[in-house]
Every structure is written in C-alpha cells, then in structure tokens.
Structure 1
Amino acid sequence: MKENASSIDKGVTIASVLCCAVFIVATLISPDAVKGLFDKLFKFFIDNFGWSYLLVVASFVVFCFGIAFSKFGSVKLGKDEDEPEFSLPAWFSMLFAAGMGIGLVFWGVAEPVYHFAGPPFAEAKTAQAGADAMRTTFFHWGLHPWACYAVVAMLLAYSHFRKGNPCQLSWILEPLIGKERVKGLMGRSIDTLAIVVTLFGVATSLGLGAMQVCTGLSKLFGIPNTVTVSILVIVVVTVLYIISAVSGVDKGIKLLSNTNMIMAFGLLVLMLFNGPTVYILKFLIESLGNYAQNIIWLSFFMDTTGGVAKHAGYEWIGAWTVFYWAWWLTWAPFVGAFIARISKGRTIKEFVMGALLAPTLLCAIWFSIMGGTAIHMELADPSVGIADATFKDVTTAIFVMFDHFPMGFFLSLMSMIIVCIFFITSADSATYVVGVMSSGGDLNPKNSLKIFWGLLCSTIAAMLLLTGGLKAIQTVSFVVSFPFMILMVFMIVAFLRSLASERV
C-alpha cells in the first residue's frame, strides 16, 4: 500500500513512547509490585478526588446543552459553506461504534444484574432493586459519558475545520495560551498527554474485550480461560485492526461500523422477540422516566455519610460511578478526535443533539433488552444463576443468560463476533487518532505509524491483564484521566473565548 507523505512529530512521539515504556518494563520486571501500587493508587483517587469527577463531568453535560441552545448553536463545525461528509446513519454508526463498543456487550447483562443482586439502595433481588439497577445503568451509560466525548469532539472540530488549526488538542488552547506556547513545550506536553491517555484508555477496553472473548471461547469450545489465551486473543485481533486501520476511514472503519451496527441490531431484535417483549418495553419506558427524574440527584450523589457503602459492603460510588467517569475521560481524547474527524459541516446544535441524545437512547434500549431480560428471568426463577455467575466472574453474565435460550450457542457466538468487531473498530479509530496526533495534526498519518501505535496499545492491554485484570484497568483509568479532565476545563474556556468572536 502506498505510504502517504505526512511527517512524524518526533518529540511528541518519543515522549509518549517513553511514558508507555516505563509502565510496560515495570510490569515485565515485577507485575506484583505494579499490582500493589495500583491498589494504593485506586484507594487514593477514590478517597481524595472522587468528588471532582462528579462535579466536572456534570458540568460537561450542562455546557453541551447550554452551548447548543445558545445563539452559537447555529455555528458550523467547519466553514459556513461546508456540508456533512457522511450521511446521518453512517455518522451515527461510526461514532457509536467508536464510543461504546466493547463495553456494551461486556456490561450489557453484567451491570444491571450486579446492581440487582447487590444493590446500593434497595433490598437485593427485589422488584425495587431491578428498577434501581436499570436507572443506575442508564445513568452510567447515558448523557454523561457522551458529554465527555462531545466536549473534545466539538472543540477540536471547531478549532480544526472552522479556524484552520492543526488537528491537535493543543491548538484548542491557542486562544488562551497563544501560538508560541502551543508550538513550544506546553503544546508538546498537552499532545503527549492526549496520546498517553488515548493509548491507555483504548488498552483498558482491549483488555475487557479479550477477557470477554476468552470466556466465550471457554464456554462454547472448551478453550482454557486463562490470561495467556486472553493475550493470544489480543494478538489475533491486533493483526485484524491494523489491516483495517491502514485501509482508511472511508473503507475499513466505515464498513466495519456499519456491519457491526447491523449485527448488534439483529441481536437486539432476536432478544426482544424471544424474550419477555412486553416486560422489556415497559421496563424501558419506566426506566427512562426514572433516569430523567433522578439525573440531577445521581449526578452529585457522593454517599458522604457512607450509608450506601455500608449497605453494599464496599465503596460503591468509587467502584462504579467515579470509575465510569474516569473511564469515559480516558476515552475522550480518541473518541472525541475521531468524532471530530467525521463531524465536519454539522452545526453545533445538530452535533450535540446527535452525539448526546441518540446514543443515550440506543444505550437505554440495549440495556433494557439485555439487562431487562436477565432481571426478569432472575425475578421469575432465581435458580437460573445469572446473578451468582456475575458475582463470580462478570465476563460470564451474558453467556449464562444465553444458555437459557433455544439458540443459546448461536447467540453467544454472535455476541463474540460483535465484541471482536467492536474490538477492531475501537482500536482502529484509536490508531488513526494517535497517528494524527503524532503527525502534527495531519489527517492522513503514515500507515507505518498507525501500525506502531496499534502494537504499542495492544502491548499495554496485555500488561494490564498481567497486573490484575479489571482492577488494574480501573486504576489506570484514574491515574491518566485526572490530568486530562483538568485540561478539558481549560479547553472549554479557550473555546468560549474563541467563540465570542463569531458573528451570529
């Protein structure tokens, strides 16, 4: 394949690689020591900075809707004459596949069932626990995560397509810090941070995806469910997503995203009509209302008195809500940059409505069908064992539920294929974005650069599995997301300063 002519920003690339190399080498030398450090860091961030995640992420939601319905909502993310490059269905498919992907399949059954069987607010395995579980799940996968993505995407698309700046996060801050600092050490440091956050953010999801696929292979084909097999899964999928990445956005990512949306929709339809259809539809409507009614309370609930922690038996807010906000923030640089790339020509209002409301509704439908079916089965007959299996190993939840359906093997196999394609599209999008970031903002980074970043990202994912699986993934999310969250606040200030010059 012909190599393009983009140049590599050696300073940013070397600094990013060194940051990642420290983690990889330390893990190879002493995985137990790294795991112990992760445990301490996890507790430190939960105890001292949990409140800041809730406050800042809630402010992102307010900012997005505030700017959309202000006089600046008609401003285009591009020149006034620019039109959208992709159709609405194609645009939505790509942003959704990049933005949620593996997590939906991984947590689709596991999270609602976990909150149902070990609820923070109600008695376990009751109808009230089921209602609370779905409301909480909607909250974790609704407006807040998509607001994190939308902030980065909107600001970067405005800076690049409308103001003509390079497609790098550092240039968003140009109205605040000036061009010289953007081109200097400060700008390089910002772009390095964005790359490191992106690599670790994607690596966490690759780790989750590998764990899910490994569990599926074990249940369906009897292959041992070990860390070694999970790492082999990462190796195989890495080859596939590198092939996709070098084929470009118009070919690889677009084709895979559309294919996966069709497959995911097919799985939902099968589950909807083979499951308790009326119950699911009622559950969806009721849970949407429950979510809308309680979103403000949930956005700022920190369990200050410790009542929920005592009831649940562990630090529930930190392990769930605060972790999720940290996780979404680690995804914000690459998902935001990718959405920015495909959103040229859309107005700010159109962008916000499309990037927040539509994905939130689709996530609600997914969890209502998957999680709602599992909760209905548990309420009707607790001996089905979905809850018990989830508490032992969250990766098994969806497969245990499928075991109770006539087409259980087919459904499990289909979900594994969806995970693998989500796996590819997420990593595909990330390698493209990191390639752009490390090429001075060039929208056509070298294929060799994308392959290099893909290999590095997969290596980090393998190291995370060696140092504790899900717990390591949670801790890394906290460590790398906190400085980026602070950076996002300054990016918004710079954006508002630049937006003030618009004539609307």
Structure 2
Amino acid sequence: MNFQQKFRLPIRKSVFWPPVLFLILTLVASILFSGVFEENMKGIQSWLLQNFSIGYSYLSFFMLILICWIMVSPLGSYRIGGKEAKPRLSFLSWFAIVLCTTIAVGILFWGSAEPLSHYLFPPSFKNIEPASTESKEFALGALFFHWGFTPYAIYAVPALTFGLLYYHGKNSFELGLMIKPLFGSNLPSFLKNGVDMLSLFAMVSGMAGALGAGILSLSGGILHLSPNSSQVAVPAIITICIVSTFIISASTGIEKGIKRLSLFNLFFFFGFVLVFLFISKGGDFLNSLVLGIENYGKEFLDLSLQLSGKGNQWTYDWSVFNFAMWMAWAPMAALFLGKIAKGRTVREFILVNCILPAAFCLVWMAVFGGSTLGFASADPYMYQESFTENGPESIIYLLFKEINQEKLMTFLFLIGMFISYVTAADSSTEAMASLSLKGQTKDEFRIPTGIKIVWGLLVGAIAFVMIFYSGIDGVRILSAIGGFPAFLFLILITISLLLLSINPSKYLD
C-alpha cells in the first residue's frame, strides 16, 4: 500500500463536514464573544436540564432495569455475530479496553473531589448538616450512584443493540441501525445522517473538552512539581504528546495499539490503588466500601426517580448533568463497544460492559473517596478552603500531601492521567473514523489510518485553542447540550432493545 492509498480519505461528506464546520464556528464564536457565548450556552443547558430532568432520570433507571431483565431473558444466551462467531480478543484484553474506554480520566479527577463536594455541600432536600456523619454517608451513597451500575447501563444498552444488529446480516456501520426493530429499513437517509452528525458533534466536542481539562490538570501537576517550568511550553508539549500517542496507538488497530495500551492502563490502575493503600496503611477502605454500598442501596430509588430531589439545583448539577454527559457519548461509544464484542454471548457482554466496570469503579471510589472523607472529617475547613479557592482539581493533591507522599503519588497520578486519556481517546477516534468512513472495510477491526489522523489532529487543535483563547467551559457545555438529541435517540434505542429481548428470534434468527 503506497502513501497516497494509505492516507486517502473515503469519508461520508454529509456526515463528516457539518459537525466539523459547526464546531469550528462555535469555537470562533467562543473566542470572539466569549462572555455572551458562554452565558447563552449555559442558559440553554440549564433550560434543557431543568425541563427534561425527569426524563433523563427515568430513562437512566429504565435502561438499568432493562439490562437486568436481559440477563435472565432468552436473549441472554444469544451470541453476538451468530452461533459460529469467535471472539477476536481475550477476555482480559476485552475487559481492559471496555474499562479504559468508558472511564477515561473521570475516576482520577472526581474520585476525591465529588464526595468532598457532597460532604461539604449536601443537597437541601436531604436536610442534613454539612461536614457531618450523615453528610459523609450520603456523599458515599451519591458517589456510588453516579459511578455505579446506572451510567454503565447507559453505555451497555446502545452498545448491545448495535453489536447484535450490526453483525446480523450485511448492515452498514451507522447509528440508525440501532432503531431498525422500530422502523425497519425504512428510515430516511436525512434522519440517519442527522443522527450520525449530531453524535459526531457531541463526541468531538466532548473529547476536545475532556482533552482540554486533562491538559490543564496535567500542566497543573507538572507545574506543582516544577514551579519554574514555562506555563506556555508545558501545556503545548503535553498536547503534542497526548495527541501523537493516541493517533499512533489508534492507527495500529484494535488488536495491537489499543489492546496493549488498555492492558497497561488496567494494570497501572491496580498498581496505583495498591501503592496508595500500602502508603496510607489501608486507610478506611473496607469501612468506606461497606458504608458506600449500604448508602447506595438506601439512596438508589430516591436519586434514580427524584422522589425528594425533584426541582432541586443539586439534582440538576450532579445526577442529571452526569447522566446527560454519559448519554452524549453513549451512541458513539456504542459503535466501538458493540464492534469489539463479536463472538461473545449477551450475558458475557453485560458482565464485561456493565457489572465488572461498575464494580471496579465502586472499589476505586471507596479507596480515594473514602480516604478523602476520612481526612476531611478531621479538618473540614481546610478542605473547604482548598475546594472553593483552588478548585476541585486541588483535592487529590491535598490527599497525597496528607499521606506524606505528595511527590511520588503526584508523579504516578500524572502518568495515570496521561495514559487514561490516551486509551479513552483511542477508542473514540476509532469510532469517529468508522462512522465517517464511506463504504465498509473488509475487516471491521481495521479502519484507514488517514481518517484517524484527521480526527486526532482536529480534537487536539480545538483543545489547544480553547485553553489559550477561550477556556474549555463553552465547548464542554456544548457537549452536554449535545446529550439532548442523544437522550431522544436513546429512548428509541431502549425500545428497540426491549423488542429484541421480548422476541429475539424475530430479529436475529
């Protein structure tokens, strides 16, 4: 294959160009009219979250119930790709890729900051004192709710639907495929392209926002360790390193670069937890895990269905916003997660895409969230001052200082941040390239390199410009707004999967 063939871009122009051009226009608007742009975007986001708050919560809850039903339904024994299909990945590699695709840098950043926020500023509808035993218990329960089984069900429902239908017959790599049980093959082209465009836009803006936040966090950590470093050069070097690494990794394919980097990331996560537990002498891990699970069960229905928190700002800012962000990414992530599940049974899929990742996150949150709350209980005013004056990103470094290993743990944390973003960006780039590809490849695990390079450079450029000219909030808010059409689309996908589970032979045999 010569150079020209390798980097030819056989793109779906009607899907590729509109989100790219619109994102560039919004980026220019955020630079030229930063205050007005961000204020308007926040207004739209607030209106959507408030007016569709119940919808987000109820859909998330029903998606989890549906996943539980499928585990025991006849659909659970079906094999993705047909009875003769064989897995392309080992079980461990598959789990590593799924985990690293879905958590990105979220657990690293929010593992300490989120529970502290709930502890210091509990919701008014709970009528509990800030920085009290009751607020600590609620903080762990809310943390487990936001990072437990519900968000993974949001990913699992569309991913399972896509995997089952994509490998059944000769289907195109399109998001509209997931609602085929509802509309058959009669979905108009403009609707299929519209869904693909909106999902691409939400994914690109979300990736750029996450990369911008990651660059700022990494820069802050490096400048924390080396205060004399350049505040311009450090972010620039980090951007180049991250973008180059995930482009190279994604370009080598799922079975090489993405798999190897994900396995490294998985083992790094386990090693990081063990090092922290060893240095902190275990902290209050087991008690936090038990307390978190207990209060997760206690708060589950209330937070899921907004029984007491309906209309409360805390509900909008945390539960609804979190699930809106997961929903914004879910359709695009489903393309990748469904594709790599070939040869696995539906029950195996749910185990690896929902149960095991959620369990991993709960353990992680018990370690770092529980430790943070333990130290904050001894001196809540110091933690509150750091949270309000230095931002939530400062809390993890304060935790490392408490265990007297600030430099070592900060260094390891920065490595984890870097690798975690790269591994998540790998799969996202793969999904974006697959969706914008014209026609089908002979091997669904091998996508042309040129498309991946274009997406990687575009995401990196947007993130870098945001950091230095407009800030990342505007585009990140735009990504959350992109979660609204994804929310509507996910309603249809959920109904489609329900139909599949009730009568699988009708659609899959």
TM-score (norm 1): 0.91
CA contact (8 A) 2:203 2:479 kept: no
Query: What is the aligned counterpart of 1:389 among 386, 389, 398?
Result: 386
**Which whole-Å CA distance do the structure 1 matches of 2:437 and 2:310 have between them?**
49
1:163 CA displacement: 3.5
Aligned to 1:439, the other structure's residue is in SS state: coil
State yes or no: 1:340 paired with 2:335: no
Aligned to 1:400, the other structure's residue is in SS state: helix
**Which whole-Å CA distance do the structure 1 matches of 2:87 and 2:118 have between them?**
41
Distance change >3 Å, CA 470–CA 317, structure 1 → 2: farther
Aligned counterpart, 2:81: 78
Aligned to 1:162, the other structure's residue is in SS state: coil
**Which whole-Å CA distance do the structure 2 matches of 1:362 and 1:271 have between them?**
16
Aligned counterpart, 1:489: 491
**Which whole-Å CA distance do the structure 2 matches of 1:273 and 1:11 have between them?**
54
1:180 CA displacement: 5.0
Question: Which range moves more in the overlay, 411-420 or 159-168?
Answer: 159-168
Aligned counterpart, 1:354: 352
CA contact (8 A) 2:174 2:192 kept: no
Query: What is the aligned counterpart of 2:92 among 78, 89, 92?
Result: 89
Aligned counterpart, 1:104: 107
Distance change >3 Å, CA 305–CA 167, structure 1 → 2: closer
Aligned to 1:251, the other structure's residue is in SS state: helix
Aligned counterpart, 1:436: 434
**Which whole-Å CA distance do the structure 2 matches of 1:179 and 1:15 have between them?**
24
Query: What is the aligned counterpart of 2:20 among 13, 17, 21?
Result: 17
Identity of aligned residues (%): 26
**Which whole-Å CA distance do the structure 1 matches of 2:323 and 2:486 have between them?**
12
5+ residue gaps, structure 2: none
State yes or no: 1:133 paired with 2:136: no
| Residue pairs, 1:419-434, within 5 angstroms | 419-434=417-432
Aligned counterpart, 2:399: 401
State yes or no: 1:30 paired with 2:33: yes
1:229 CA displacement: 5.4
**Which whole-Å CA distance do the structure 1 matches of 2:487 and 2:144 have between them?**
22
Query: What is the aligned counterpart of 2:197 among 179, 192, 200?
Result: 192
State yes or no: 1:450 paired with 2:452: yes
Distance change >3 Å, CA 162–CA 293, structure 1 → 2: farther
Letter in 2 for 1:273: F
Aligned to 1:277, the other structure's residue is in SS state: coil
Query: What is the aligned counterpart of 2:71 among 51, 68, 71?
Result: 68
CA contact (8 A) 2:247 2:452 kept: yes
Letter in 1 for 2:162: L
**Which whole-Å CA distance do the structure 2 matches of 1:223 and 1:341 have between them?**
46
Aligned counterpart, 1:279: 284
CA contact (8 A) 2:31 2:470 kept: no
Q: How many residues align?
A: 495
Aligned to 1:146, the other structure's residue is in SS state: helix
1:467 CA displacement: 7.8
1:207 CA displacement: 2.4
**Which whole-Å CA distance do the structure 1 matches of 2:376 and 2:496 have between them?**
50
**Which whole-Å CA distance do the structure 2 matches of 1:349 and 1:430 have between them?**
24
**Which whole-Å CA distance do the structure 2 matches of 1:219 and 1:415 have between them?**
12
Letter in 1 for 2:226: F
1:501 CA displacement: 5.0
CA contact (8 A) 1:125 1:379 kept: yes
Distance change >3 Å, CA 381–CA 26, structure 1 → 2: closer
Aligned counterpart, 2:371: 373
Aligned to 1:109, the other structure's residue is in SS state: helix
CA-to-aligned-CA distance 1:221-271 (integer Å, 9 cap, x gap): 115796885465334311221121211111111111111111111110111
CA contact (8 A) 2:48 2:484 kept: no
**Which whole-Å CA distance do the structure 1 matches of 2:153 and 2:169 have between them?**
22
CA-to-aligned-CA distance 1:324-350 (integer Å, 9 cap, x gap): 011111221232222112211111122
1:30 CA displacement: 2.3
Aligned counterpart, 1:312: none
CA contact (8 A) 1:206 1:461 kept: yes
Distance change >3 Å, CA 11–CA 469, structure 1 → 2: same
Distance change >3 Å, CA 47–CA 227, structure 1 → 2: farther
Letter in 2 for 1:33: V
**Which whole-Å CA distance do the structure 1 matches of 2:32 and 2:38 have between them?**
12
Aligned counterpart, 2:505: 502
Letter in 2 for 1:11: S
1:445 CA displacement: 2.5
What root-mean-square deviation, in Å, do the aligned CA atoms of Structure 1 and Structure 2 show? 2.5
Question: Which range moves more in the overlay, 200-209 or 432-441?
Answer: 200-209
Aligned counterpart, 2:362: 364
CA contact (8 A) 2:115 2:143 kept: yes
